[in-house]
């Protein structure tokens, strides 16, 4: 019996028991209670900074409870994945049939990479059943009007910087939304000049990491979907109508086929998820919220071209995930802004190279990644000549090849190693 089947049999039910929250020192502290039966209990926490309770007069208790209940639902995948229990029982609140279908889709589509990495077949009969309290409840949808200003989820990468700067040009009123902001994100926030910030601290239960080390199942979860729920909630709390994410056109392309399904590392950033969440949000969370992606019509290559004009961010921006570890208190900062060894670093280097002087891009990354022979395999994966597209937030094969051609034109007289090898690779049928 493989590990997933063994764990599903041993731990047949995941229960979302309840949630609690309190206002303390102008912060809203939320604690969720999850149980994997028999006997594994979790108490993850979320802290939303600078929430003044008296300013929530237009949000009644039922509506507030509904938002927090839904935040608990989107926290479930991080803990459910340990055992892949065949039953999820929702005791903390009510879900109708439409909502249950929606949430089941999150667990099937959003966890695709997790199933691929753990060789799990989600197509089996009764793979997952979600049960909720049976009695119907009156609607808790937030119906209030919100100020026509913009909340921008911000992590100090190219995408959110381009969104922010474009909105600044339009003279929009903006606040930055950050979750567990580490020092390098705070440096980018400082450069942005935006004073208004909404900060969320998310703390995983320590037992999650301990169980990972003991050999329970682990893998990718749709993190951007969690950010979406948090951002909409904060938009309502702090009175921001527009939630401007920075997910681009490129995120719609998947990575690999598995059991007849396209597995997409960026599914939670895709237009498919955006459209599903938009409908869910307006029907079950906040009717008048405007959740959208500001960069949906652009490719990663186009975003790099736009970003290349914002030189003030060059010393502080970063998109590298290597060296970033999750602790019980959230993300721990990497020692270096760019590791220079991962597919993400290579992809960002590749898409910026055509638009920047070589000395400027080398100053950003520390060296010329095109001369690093150890990155040839990653480059082939990025352009579709390798095994699979890397499980990173990289662009489409088409735009990566376009970036290669633009880079070759720029360096035509003396091609660096990776461009020379890639050119030959692309010329082969």
Q: What are the pLDDT digits (tens) for 18-67?
A: 999 999 888 999 999 999 999 899 999 999 999 977 778 779 999 999 99
The contacts of residue 21 (CB under 8 Å, 6+ apart) are 28, 29, 30, 31, 64, 68
Q: Report the percentage of the chain scoring pLDDT > 70.
A: 95
The more confident residue out of 307 and 411 is: 307
Assign 193 a pLDDT band (cuts: 50, 70, 90). Answer: very high
pLDDT digits (tens, 9 = 90+) for 139-191: 789 999 999 999 999 999 999 999 999 999 999 999 999 999 999 899 999 99
Q: Per-residue pLDDT for 326 more than 70?
A: no
CA 400 – CA 383 distance, rounded (Å): 6
The pLDDT tens digits of the residues spanning 106-137 come to 999 999 999 999 999 999 999 999 999 766 67
Cα dihedral value 48, 169, 295, 157, nearest 10: -60
Confidence of residue 192 (pLDDT cuts 50, 70, 90): very high
SS3 labels along 19-73: EEEEEECCEEEEEEEEEEECCEEECCEEEECCCCHHHHCCCCHHHHHHHHHHHHH
Query: Which pLDDT score, from 0 to 100, does residue 136 have?
Result: 64
Mean per-residue pLDDT, 276-281? 98
Nearest to 40 by CA among 20, 19, 17, 21: 17
* Distance (Å, whole) CA 209 – CA 242: 35
- Tell me the average pLDDT of the chain: 93
pLDDT tens for each residue of 68-78: 999 999 999 99
Taking the C-alpha atoms of residue 142 and residue 64, their distance in angstroms, rounded to an integer, is 9
Query: What is the structure's pLDDT at 53?
Result: 77
pLDDT exceeds cutoff 80 at 412: no
Rounded to 10 deg, the angle between the 343-352 and 300-307 helix axes is 60
- Cα 246 vs. chain centroid, distance in angstroms? 11
Q: Sorting pLDDT into bands at 50, 70 and 90, what band is 324?
A: low
Output the six-digit token pair for 188.
């980018």
- At residue 284, the pLDDT reads 97
Split at pLDDT 50, 70, 90, the class of 207 is very high
- For the record, the structure tokens of 100 come out as 């249950």
The β-bridge relationship of strands 27-37 and 45-48 is: antiparallel
pLDDT of residue 425: 78
Do the Cβ atoms of 190 and 157 come closer than 8 Å? no
| pLDDT higher than 60, residue 334 | no
Please give the pLDDT value at position 328.
45
The model's confidence at residue 327, banded by pLDDT at 50, 70 and 90, is very low
Instruction: Identify the CA nearest to 395 among candidates 317, 343, 354, 340.
Output: 343
Three-state secondary-structure class, residue 217: coil
pLDDT for res 429? 58
d(CA 357, CA 188): 22
Domain ranges of the chain: 3-142+198-293, 301-427
């Amino acid at each position: 019996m493989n590990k997933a089947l063994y764990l599903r049999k041993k731990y047949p039910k995941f229960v979302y028991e309840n949630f609690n929250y309190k206002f303390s020192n102008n912060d809203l502290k939320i604690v969720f209670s999850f149980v994997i039966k028999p006997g594994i209990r979790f108490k993850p926490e979320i802290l939303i900074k600078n929430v003044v309770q008296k300013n929530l007069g237009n949000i009644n208790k039922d509506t507030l409870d509904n938002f927090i209940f839904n935040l608990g639902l989107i926290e479930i995948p991080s803990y459910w994945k340990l055992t892949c229990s065949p039953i999820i029982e929702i005791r903390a609140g009510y879900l109708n049939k439409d909502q249950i279908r929606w949430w089941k889709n999150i667990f099937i589509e959003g966890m695709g990479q997790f199933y691929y990495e753990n060789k799990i077949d989600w197509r089996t009969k009764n793979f997952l059943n979600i049960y909720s309290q049976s009695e119907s409840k009156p609607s808790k949808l937030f119906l209030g009007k919100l100020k026509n200003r913009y909340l921008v989820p911000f992590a100090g990468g190219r995408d959110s910087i381009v969104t922010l700067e474009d909105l600044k040009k339009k003279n929009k009123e903006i606040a930055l939304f950050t979750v567990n902001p580490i020092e390098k994100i705070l440096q980018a926030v400082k450069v942005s000049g935006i004073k208004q910030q909404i900060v969320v601290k998310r703390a995983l239960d320590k037992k999650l990491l301990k169980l990972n080390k003991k050999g329970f199942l682990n893998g990718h979860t749709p993190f951007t979907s969690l950010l979406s729920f948090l951002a909409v909630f904060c938009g309502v709390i702090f009175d921001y109508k527009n939630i401007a994410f920075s997910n681009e056109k490129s995120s719609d392309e998947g990575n690999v086929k598995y059991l007849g399904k396209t597995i997409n590392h960026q599914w939670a950033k895709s237009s498919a998820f955006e459209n599903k969440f938009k409908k869910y949000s307006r029907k079950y969370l906040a009717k008048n919220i405007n959740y959208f992606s500001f960069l949906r019509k652009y490719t990663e290559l186009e975003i790099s071209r736009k970003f290349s004009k914002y030189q003030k961010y060059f010393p502080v921006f970063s998109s590298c995930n290597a060296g970033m570890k999750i602790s019980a208190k959230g993300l721990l900062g990497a020692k270096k802004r760019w590791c220079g060894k991962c597919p993400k670093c290579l992809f960002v280097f590749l898409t910026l190279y055509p638009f920047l002087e070589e000395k400027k891009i080398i100053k950003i990354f520390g060296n010329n990644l095109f001369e690093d022979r150890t990155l040839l395999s990653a480059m082939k994966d990025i352009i579709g000549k390798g095994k699979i597209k890397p499980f990173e937030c990289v662009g489409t094969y088409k735009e990566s090849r376009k970036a290669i051609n633009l880079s070759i034109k720029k360096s035509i007289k003396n091609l660096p190693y990776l461009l020379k090898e890639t050119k030959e690779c692309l010329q082969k049928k």
